[in-house]
Structure 1
Amino acid sequence: MPCGGESQRYFPLDQGLGLTRLQDGHFLYVDPMDEAVAAHLIAHGYWENWIHKVVCSLVRPGDHIVEVGANFGYYTVAMARQTGPNGSILAFEANPGLADLVRRSVHFNGYSPTVKVLAKAASDKAGTLSFAISRRNAGGGTISTTPGALGPDSVLVTVETVTLDSVAPDDVRFIRMDAEGSEPLILRGAERLLQRPDIVVCMEWDVIQMSARADVRELIAWLSSLGFQYWSIQYDSTLRSVPAAEMPTLPACDIVMAREAPPGVPLTTAGSPDAV
């Protein structure tokens, strides 16, 4: 491992804590035990670069943003840079350990004035739920009552749930979600926010995971009745239009949902593969 200088990417701070430099210049506190997102950030300095580019293109200066599933804060700090000092981010991370790391990263990068991190789960109603967390699979945190749901090191914690409509301001224009299948519940709890004509949603779309929480066809019918259209994010960071009828069988990917094609992101040419 390098001893110093600009070539050094990872700085071990403790047995279970490190600081890593990203390719975009940000720094993130990470748990080196995580074998997915943190491992990739430590080794390469980026994660899901095709999605990262689209997210940064969708965020405008001064935007007010809600993020659900902040993980280590990779997208949080990227969006904070894009929205600037006149915007804001309300970031949810149900894993309390990760939420603490995100807060530290937000402060380290100078975004504390505009970013608030909540160690809560967004859902369709207020209350509490049982949530499985794991250090080896930090990004896999999910609603569960099974102690070993994420592997031998996973444990259950009780987390508070809130609806986005109850805590987010009226002027939210962008929502980013990666919630391991809980996206239908989160959207149902954001009916007020979704009424904004120019709202844009970027979210993970995994029909298998979401089907454990809701009827996906009913979800699509409801969203379509609100006027939403759908695009899948491609590996070349373009958007491919997806008809509502194809959404129930769309392979796992990240999608953008809006009432019209979002400006700033090119549409794909025919035949481009979906990102998975």
Structure 2
Amino acid sequence: MSNIRSVLLEQNRPAAEAHFAANTRSEYLGNGTLLCKILGNLRMFVLGDDIGFSPHMIFDGYWEFWLTRYFAAVIRPGDTVIDVGANLGYYTVLAADLVGPSGKVVAIEPNPAVFRRLAASIALNGFGAQTSARNVALAGAGESGTRPFFVPEGEPKNGRFLAPHETPEGLAGHGSVFDVALGSINPDEFERVDLIKIDVEGAELAVLDHLRPVLQKFRPKVICEVNFRRGYSYDRLVATLGTDRLKHLDFHSKLHPLTREMCETEQMGEDWLLFVDFADRQISRGEN
């Protein structure tokens, strides 16, 4: 068993968090890059001007304990995991450790500066054989070329496509805007897909639509950050997924039903961690 898996599943949350914090360390390497020891024994390159995510790697050695523990509980050796919106690669290297040399991880990250650290972290941990990273964004099915991408100052994890009403000039004082390449995920690339993690800051429906052939062929588990103040509704999400058998992951790594009423009355403007198991028989049969 992976040592990370055993810590996450065999220790309670305070003990596991204390273990990771006690075993973290960081060194500044120059050029805005730090190298951190995370999750007890993994290495990760982070950004010195990132105030949202990187400080947690530098001082705590872990991120989003509830989702980290969920990964340890459901990812098995030999699994295939797709990480869409990989950022600096925390979940990518965690998944690579959990799937082991017989598994496969594919990371999708459009931001070139972030991608360079992601690719370097994969290589440094010795995960190159089972892990590939692509410096692209996923958009709607059939869409190709490039699209403008906005990265808020100090918050690369919140990078996103421009909204229809936004312009590069209007965002100039709030971060940087640049074009990113659009790529694709083809189901024929894979022999299996077991879990897809999606964190794409507003592009959720387009990415889910893009991944429809993968979802239909492999029936994976999907964990996706959604927020109903990002221009879509519960009904549009259900229509895109093809099912209303939705769940959400709570802060205790437990799954609960996610209903329309909850989405319309609770956590307004806040994120939900949506969970769908496409292997669910009722979903596979098209029963909502």
Q: Deviations over 1:30-73 (max 9, x none)?
A: 11110010011112111111111112222121111211111111
CA RMSD of superposed structures (Å) = 2.5
Please show how residues 1-276 of structure 1 align to structure 2 within 5 Å. Answer: 9-124=25-140, 125-134=143-152, 136-144=154-162, 146-147=167-168, 152=173, 154-165=175-186, 168-169=189-190, 171-196=192-217, 198-209=219-230, 211=231, 214=232, 216-225=234-243, 229-243=245-259, 246-247=262-263, 251=267, 252-259=271-278
Q: Is the 8 A contact 1:120 1:160 kept in 2?
A: yes
Q: Is the 8 A contact 2:23 2:61 kept in 1?
A: no
CA distance 1:135–1:43, change in 2 (3 Å): farther
Letter in 1 for 2:274: I
What's 1:3 paired with?
A: none
Alpha-carbon distance between aligned partners in 2 of 1:90 and 1:8, rounded to the nearest angstrom: 26
- How many residues are aligned here? 252
TM-score, structure 2 normalization: 0.79
CA distance 1:194–1:8, change in 2 (3 Å): closer
| Structure 1 position 217, deviation (Å) | 1.5
Letter in 2 for 1:238: K
| Structure 1 position 10, deviation (Å) | 0.9
CA distance 1:104–1:47, change in 2 (3 Å): same
Alpha-carbon distance between aligned partners in 2 of 1:260 and 1:61, rounded to the nearest angstrom: 19
Q: Is the 8 A contact 2:24 2:58 kept in 1?
A: no
Letter in 1 for 2:221: V
Alpha-carbon distance between aligned partners in 1 of 2:189 and 2:228, rounded to the nearest angstrom: 26
CA distance 1:171–1:248, change in 2 (3 Å): farther
| Structure 1 position 122, deviation (Å) | 0.8
Alpha-carbon distance between aligned partners in 2 of 1:7 and 1:174, rounded to the nearest angstrom: 28
For residue 181 of structure 1, give the secondary structure of its aligned residue in structure 2: coil
CA distance 1:149–1:205, change in 2 (3 Å): farther
Q: Is the 8 A contact 1:90 1:168 kept in 2?
A: no
CA distance 1:9–1:206, change in 2 (3 Å): same
For residue 128 of structure 2, give the secondary structure of its aligned residue in structure 1: coil
Alpha-carbon distance between aligned partners in 1 of 2:196 and 2:24, rounded to the nearest angstrom: 34
Q: Deviations over 1:170-198 (max 9, x none)?
A: 52221111100111100101111111364
- Matched residues, percent identical? 25
| Structure 1 position 149, deviation (Å) | 7.1
Structure with more helix by fraction: 2
What's 1:267 paired with?
A: none
Q: Is the 8 A contact 1:146 1:156 kept in 2?
A: no
Letter in 2 for 1:258: D
Alpha-carbon distance between aligned partners in 2 of 1:7 and 1:170, rounded to the nearest angstrom: 37
CA distance 1:71–1:161, change in 2 (3 Å): same
Q: Is the 8 A contact 1:147 1:154 kept in 2?
A: no
Q: Is the 8 A contact 1:165 1:191 kept in 2?
A: no
Alpha-carbon distance between aligned partners in 2 of 1:260 and 1:191, rounded to the nearest angstrom: 14
Alpha-carbon distance between aligned partners in 1 of 2:190 and 2:169, rounded to the nearest angstrom: 37
TM-score, structure 1 normalization: 0.82
Unaligned runs of 5+ residues in structure 2 are 1-21, 281-288
For residue 117 of structure 1, give the secondary structure of its aligned residue in structure 2: strand
